[in-house]
A and B are shown apart, each in its own frame.
Chain A
Amino acid sequence: MSRAQAELIRHSFVTHVDENRLMDCMRCGFCLPACPTYIHSDYDETQSPRGRIALMKAVRDGNVEWDGSIEEAFDLCLGCRACEPACPAGVQYGTLIEETREAVLSVKSPSWKEKAIRKGAFDHLFADQRKMKTAVKLVTFYQKSGLQKVVRKVGFMELFPPFMKEMERSLPDPPRKRREQAAPAEKKTKVAFFAGCLMDTMFKETNRNTIDLLERLGCEVVIPKNQQCCGALQGHSGEMDRARRNAKANLEAFDFNDIDYIVNNAGGCGAFLSEYDRLFGNEPELLALANRFVEKQIDISSLLVKLGIVDELMKQPATEATGIVTYQDSCHLRNVNGVKDEPREMLKAAKGSLFVEMPGAHLCCGSAGVYNLLQPEMASRILGSKMEEVKRVQATTIITTNPGCLLQMKVGVEREGLSGTARAMHVVDFIHEKIMGSNGGK
């Protein structure tokens, strides 16, 4: 790292990272016990929110010169934002880490590895829904054709980093053909469905189940055609321009006047959608639009509970509890949108299983967008301790509310050799199974 480049980064921090936001942190340390990387680095302050904010400020103020150790501290942040609800001072850490990543990205090109993963993910898959679909079609073909078995045998996946390999084993089964729709009941609530790129491709069955449940509870569900990926993964990595591009497309794709809610079933997307207003601070027209968009946002668990799913679950015929179901919070659903009770209420009400709270369910599972691909070692450590808790509560079903977490929990189940006894599921699929019989995505 040359001195000139370090100076460039400092200037970039001055441009991108808001000084007042940094000064909101009074360094009390209340965030420390909430931070997964602090805990899993044996209490290293460098890997804590307070430490990272101090680093941002020191770089910005020119008190330290940018180097690899500082970069690593930012790279290791999961972006789970568990520090935000823990912070009495109301520091907007999520915004700060995004600004930081944008500051770094605008000066320094990312590593080859990060580039490869980003390129695959952002340029191709997440930027364009059709490409995502094509990719998933390939996966579908690969899984259906029986090629999968051959490939596993031949060891094709040896070419990829170990984590990718585990993810490959955890890919969901390909979606089946869309079933005939039952005649919808009387319409009460009009809901626009944000399908989400990952949810709409890899977890398509879950999206169908989402619509099934909403219709059963009397909603009219519309799926606006021109919707795009929410932009969260780009935004979290500091690619704010790309995130804004996607957000703008979504603001135009939804007709707010005509609907009661915009519902999503992915915690990560939902959080980002509910903060679209923060993307357009300098553009009053778009900001006004974003504010209205944000007002309509709701996650699927909250909406189902609002619409009376708990009663519906209670009405189901009593069956003996055959397994233990537990819940792993989606960080962004919990920390950004403050939703933690609704998924649990549904799981508690469901017949035929016993809900047990998992210690540390509120702590990140290590998936964190593409974190598990970029920081396999820390992600692996975090997942390892998560799976210990899964085993401790003897869960046979682990429920999540976000595709990244779902994949990560599937990886965990596979890695621990629990695939015979435990399964990871999206909450929607689980509730669908309880109410409409066993045809949820596995």
Chain B
Amino acid sequence: MDVQVKECLIAITGSAHARASTAQRLAYSYDATANFQALPDLVLSPASIEEIQEIVKVCTEYGVPIVSRGSGTNLAAGTTPTSGGVVILFNRMNRILELDEENLTLTVQPGVITQAINERVAEKGLFYPPDPSSMSISTIGGNVSENSGGLRGLKYGVTRDYVKALKIVLPSGELLTTGGKLAKDVAGYDLTSLFVGSEGTLGIIVEITLGLIPAPETKKTLVVYYDTLEKAAQTVSSIIAAKIVPATLEFMDQGTIEAVEEFMKIGLPTNCEAMLLIEQDGDPMIVERDMELVHKLCMEHGATSMQLAQTAEEAAQLSIARRVALSALARKRPTTILEDATVPRSEIAKMVKAVQEIAVKYDLLICTFGHAGDGNLHPTILTDVRDDAEMARVEMAFAEIFDHAIKLGGTITGEHGVGEMKAPYLEWKIGKAGIDTMKSIKQAIDPLNIMNPGKIFAKSAKKRVVVQHE
């Protein structure tokens, strides 16, 4: 980056809020995705929308890439500054601006930690359901940009379902305001939805208004163990077929249970093949009825044991156990690469089985956990980036997992985003027409391609090798 441009950018935030040392640039060169890393030229912490507008104007004038970054927990290399440029942080834009109890909305700056939102609205008996596993670290700006899911997605949906309005700084420097505190709004294209999940490639989200719902009165948590994966998967399908929609219906396989137990030490049985974590919340009568029925279905499908959480602490421990699954798996091998393949929930048993077969075929250690209830699995390959031969097999295994998911009517990513990691596979899912449409949107809004370049759209697409499965 040109020295004068750099000075010009630093002048906007003041040097106290600009980071450019070797250590600081390195510390913002990565996110939670293995094998992607690149140094930015500059890291800025603006304090206001106006400062962001000025930064964007300078970057547009000189063609400097901009990467918006929350807490860097992205799992698809969406926040790695692989084209260099400026990383924008929101550590100084982290205030909750307004809780509107009449309209049930919360207006926040992008740097607020997701967990803080949950706690704040809970004080008023309200509920913001999206709860990605990283919610104690991740920012709401990051969640909105990635359209994050979570453990409660099955019943309550994902981040998009709660974003009512946005303020966005466009690549031109203009401020765009979309949506409002409205229950209904069909004024033109749904721009709010366009920007949710756009991974920072269209503009910088600078203010967010979220919809809230009344907090459920009660919650029950059940943990169920199985001696085969199939039985667990069949239970999941049977619960949905019985017209029960649990708040949470999570799955962990044996390898994952082992890793989590090693960290948590809460007595999870490491000899079972699969575990389901099932939660229902709401009216006490309905919760009671649903959980009784769930209990019965689990028995019918061959659960080896079951345990109902007796206290709120016990329930919270079980939920944490599931949230730390990915990081705990990192204990097993030097490198942890996870996928986010999602299938229609009726196909979950087939997908779990396919992942097992792929692991055997490529001689890889794959542990699977995920949101079984909404068909969103996280097959995680435990490997070692230093082993080129093994990494080549990892690549092939992932291609085959994507291919299989798409054949079952699924997608390459359910909640982590495309980022740079999955960009080569996007066309497999949406086809040429999909890529062309998305590219023309990108071109119209960000003609200079300065907003998070290299993400979503690949320089070259991967050729899809259709694999035959019996």
Contact = CB atoms under 8 A, between A and B. Distances in A.
A29 interface: yes
A90 B263 contact: yes
Interface stretch (A43-51, A286-294, A321-329, A384-392): A43-51
A245 B26 CA distance: 36
Interface string A14-57: 00000010011111111011000000001111101001001100
A314 interface: no
13 contacts: A25-B330, A26-B32, A29-B71, A30-B324, A44-B24, A44-B27, A45-B72, A64-B23, A87-B327, A89-B263, A89-B330, A89-B331, A89-B336
Interface in B65-107: 71-73, 89, 91-92
B91 A43 contact: yes
A69 interface: yes
B223 interface: no
Given A29-B32, A29-B134, A24 B330 contact: yes
B31 interface: yes
B331 A67 contact: no
B195 interface: no
Contacts of A27: 30-34, 72
Contacts, number: 113
Contacts of A43: 89, 91
Contacts of B92: 42
A51 B24 CA distance: 9
B206 interface: no
A69 B262 contact: no
B72 A46 contact: no
Contact of A51 (B22, B27, B262): B27
B335 interface: yes
B21 interface: yes
Nearest to B24: A46
Looking at chain B's contact residues, is the secondary structure mostly helix, strand, loop, or mixed?
A: loop
A157 interface: no
Nearest to A70: B23
Contacts of A70: 22-23, 26
Contacts of A72: 23
Contacts of A342: none
B330 A26 contact: yes
Contact of B23 (A20, A73, A89): A73
Interface in B35-82: 37, 39, 45, 71-73
B235 interface: no
A359 interface: no
B222 interface: no
A103 to B, nearest CB: 16
Interface of A: 20, 23-30, 32-33, 42-46, 48, 51, 54-55, 58, 63-65, 67, 69-70, 72-73, 87-90
Contacts of A73: 23, 27
Contact of A88 (B27, B89, B328, B384): B328
Given A27-B32, A89-B331, A32 B137 contact: yes
A88 B330 contact: yes
A26 B22 contact: no
A52 to B, nearest CB: 8
A130 to B, nearest CB: 42
Contact of B21 (A28, A33, A69): A69
Contacts of B442: none
Contacts of B348: none
B323 to A, nearest CB: 9
Nearest to B385: A23
A69 to B, nearest CB: 3
Nearest to B384: A23
Nearest to B71: A29
A248 to B, nearest CB: 32
B334 A46 contact: no
Nearest to B69: A45
Contact of B27 (A42, A55, A87, A89): A55
B28 interface: yes
A23 B27 contact: no
Chain A facing B: main interface SS: loop
B218 interface: no
Contacts of B73: 28-29
Which among A20, A43, A70 has the highest number of chain B CB atoms within 10 Å?
A: A43
A51 B69 CA distance: 15
Contacts of B163: none
A253 B197 CA distance: 63
A70 B25 CA distance: 10
Interface in B294-351: 324, 326-331, 334-336
Contacts of A48: 27
- Report the 10 A-B pairs with minimum CB-CB distance, sorted nearest first: A69-B21, A88-B327, A89-B330, A23-B334, A51-B27, A69-B23, A26-B330, A88-B324, A45-B27, A88-B328
B440 interface: no
B146 to A, nearest CB: 14
B170 to A, nearest CB: 27
Contacts of A29: 32, 71-73, 134, 137
A30 B137 contact: yes
* Candidate in A26, A54, A70, A87 with the most chain B CB atoms within 10 angstroms: A26
B413 interface: no
Contacts of B331: 24, 88-90
Q: Which of A27, A51, A67, A73 has the most CB of B within 10 A?
A: A27
A25 B324 CA distance: 14
Nearest to B337: A26
Interface in B244-270: 260, 262-263
A90 B34 CA distance: 17
Given A51-B27, A54-B26, A65-B22, A89 B327 contact: yes
B136 interface: yes
Given A23-B335, A33-B136, A63-B26, 4 more contacts: A24-B330, A28-B330, A88-B263, A88-B326
Contacts of A69: 21-24
A26 B338 CA distance: 11
Contacts of A30: 134, 136-137, 324, 327
B231 interface: no
B85 to A, nearest CB: 17
B181 interface: no
B19 interface: yes
A25 B331 CA distance: 9
A42 B43 CA distance: 14
B340 to A, nearest CB: 15
Contacts of A89: 263, 327-331, 336
B29 interface: yes
A101 B332 CA distance: 27
Contacts of A33: 113, 136-137
B334 to A, nearest CB: 4
Contacts of B37: 63
A266 B148 CA distance: 45
B19 A44 contact: yes
Interface string B120-149: 000000000000001011000000000000
Contact of B22 (A20, A23, A45, A64): A64
A266 B24 CA distance: 35
A61 to B, nearest CB: 10
B26 A28 contact: no
Contacts of B45: 42
A160 B335 CA distance: 49
The residue among B23, B28, B72, B326 with the most chain A CB atoms within 10 A of its own CB is B23
A306 to B, nearest CB: 20
A44 B27 CA distance: 9
Contacts of A28: 32, 73, 134, 326-327, 330
